[in-house]
Amino acid sequence: MIEGTAGAMMGNAVLGAQTSNLNGLTPAQKAQLIYTQARSELSGRLWRAALGGEDEKQAGGLVDKRTDPLGLDGLLALLDERTKAASAQPAATGPAYPRPQTEDPSCSSQAGVWERFARQQGSEGSGENPGDGSKGAFSMQGGPNARYAGILGSAASRTGIPAAALATIVNAEAAKGSDGRWLPYSRNPRSSAAGMGQFLNRTWEGEAEREGTWLHTFAQANGWLNARGHVRSESRGALLALRYDPQASIETIADYARANLDSLRGSGVRIGGGEVEMAQAAYLGHHLGLGDAVRFLKGGLSPERARTLLHAQVGAANANRRIEMAGSAVAAHRSWLLDYVGRNIRPDRFSA
């Protein structure tokens, strides 16, 4: 695990998924990681067969059409390398780590819907973003994830997203242990989502290719990008494995949140500068993807897409019951997602 203050984080080398970080896994954690990887691969094949080869976007984020280079064989090879290293056998030199400086009648008005929701969640009047990522007092002391306070503070200072807002996004995405600990080595068995940020393969690669991001600096320093700034095919496995590194996940969550907030505002979505508003809007971008987030907030999500998204989140039987009760797929999906965001995206839980 990575611990320390923001200054220490920027002054020390990052622990990556291809270094001794994997040595810290217990046998039970290794077994769970192998199990979820194998289950994910099998589930992906079944979904591709059932959906007739549709891509991940069309299938509601459940299928990644491209081959995942960090497959079961690759994961076993990485774990085997760590075993050899622990036995004092020579291992390959690891990469260098940088120090990067509607159709629902109640939703006819996008601005009205979002502003009403923000007021319901207590975000109105919380002030403008101060620009240093430190809105309010941030505290994780005594909590099971206090070790990540330094990373969150560093990412907040760099991107201007409040640390408490970043923490609540991580908390909503990451798999958790029985004591609430965020689990860096989590993998969604129904998709390519992995790590504390549950980034899909293509989203993670996109952040590596986008100039100005922490991940782009990292990938460039390790030679994982070609002359055109695209991820080299032979480097995809190493890049995707980095999702299991806590700092890489948190820094990329921050960059992705910053980009989504800027793009949402650029698309005409009105978002206030309060912690709650910023966190909830950023989470919607993370959860839905920018295109669907814009359509959701403007009340323009199609019934077909709403049904697909709801099925992916709560299962077909539950989704159908909700749709029948709400009267439409759009209303059912909106009700479920707004309720989920309101209950889970709570920066106040990470404020002193």
Give the domain ranges of the chain: 6-99+131-287
Q: How confident is the model at residue 7 (pLDDT cuts 50, 70, 90)?
A: very low
User: Model confidence over 128-174: pLDDT tens digits?
Assistant: 333 344 445 677 877 899 999 999 999 999 999 999 999 999 999 99
Residues 239, 204: contact at Cβ < 8 Å? yes
pLDDT at 45 (0 to 100): 53
Mean per-residue pLDDT of the chain: 75
DSSP state of 146: G
For 273, phi and psi rounded to 5 degrees? -95, 5
pLDDT at 64 (0 to 100): 44
pLDDT at 200 (0 to 100): 94
Which of the listed ranges 12-26, 114-128, 247-261 does the model predict with the highest average pLDDT? 247-261
Instruction: For residues 218 and 170, give the distance between their C-alpha atoms in angstroms, rounded to a whole number.
Output: 21
What percentage of residues in the chain have a pLDDT greater than 90?
54
pLDDT at 188 (0 to 100): 81
pLDDT at 75 (0 to 100): 57
What's the distance, CA 24 to chain centroid?
A: 23
For 261, phi and psi rounded to 5 degrees? -65, -45
